[in-house]
């Protein structure tokens, strides 16, 4: 069975598949060691509503102001590249900065960062 949803922010809320397929699991939340946080690790990820609107990934969560992240940025600053881990796989990613990290850490109640899979990275083998 094919889902009608895709998940631009892995483990958070979904968006209509026809609208967001190009961005499916492009972003992920990682802990301070660079390990991907799934809903099993952090159930509150499921409380984050995701929308794609006017060129932005829009995140909303109870008690938080809306957070807008640009969708398509030219990734030419190597200083923000980092390796993260998804299910034991090393993934080339881009750190989205301190503002999203503060937003996510405040909502999730633990230190974490928002990372985006680098457009030139190998395909990610997401665990089921």
Find the Cα–Cα–Cα–Cα dihedral 115, 60, 20, 90, rounded to 10°. 20
In a domain? residue 126? no
What would the pLDDT profile of 53-71 be if each residue is shown by its tens digit?
999 999 999 999 999 999 9
CA geometry: angle at 48 spanning 39 and 99, to 5°? 105
Q: What is the pLDDT of residue 75?
A: 74
Spatial distance between the Cα atoms of 98 and 87, rounded to a whole number of angstroms: 24
Does a structural domain hold residue 124?
no
Please choose, from the candidates 40, 72, 46, the residue with its C-alpha nearest in 3D space to the C-alpha of residue 59.
46
Query: Is 44 domain-assigned?
Result: yes
| 127 in a structural domain | no
Residue 122 lies in a domain: no
Phi/psi of residue 61, nearest 5 degrees:
-150, 150
The model carries a pTM of 0.93
Quote the tokens at residue 37: 């946080």
Structurally, the chain folds into a number of domains equal to 1
Asked, for residue 128, whether it belongs to a domain, the answer is no
> Which residues span the domain enclosing 36?
5-117
Banded pLDDT at 85 (limits 50, 70, 90)? very high
């Amino acid at each position: 069975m094919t889902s009608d949803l895709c998940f631009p922010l892995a483990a958070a809320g979904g968006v209509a598949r026809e609208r967001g397929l190009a961005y499916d699991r492009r972003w992920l939340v990682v802990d301070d060691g660079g390990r991907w946080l799934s809903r099993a690790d952090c159930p509150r990820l499921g409380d984050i509503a995701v929308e794609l609107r006017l060129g932005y990934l829009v995140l909303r969560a109870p008690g938080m102001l809306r957070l807008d992240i640009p969708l398509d940025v030219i990734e030419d600053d190597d200083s923000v590249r980092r390796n993260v881990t998804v299910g034991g796989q090393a993934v080339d990613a881009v750190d989205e900065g301190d503002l999203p990290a503060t937003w996510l850490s405040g909502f999730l109640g633990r230190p974490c960062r928002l990372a985006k899979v680098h457009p030139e990275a190998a395909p990610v083998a997401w665990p089921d």
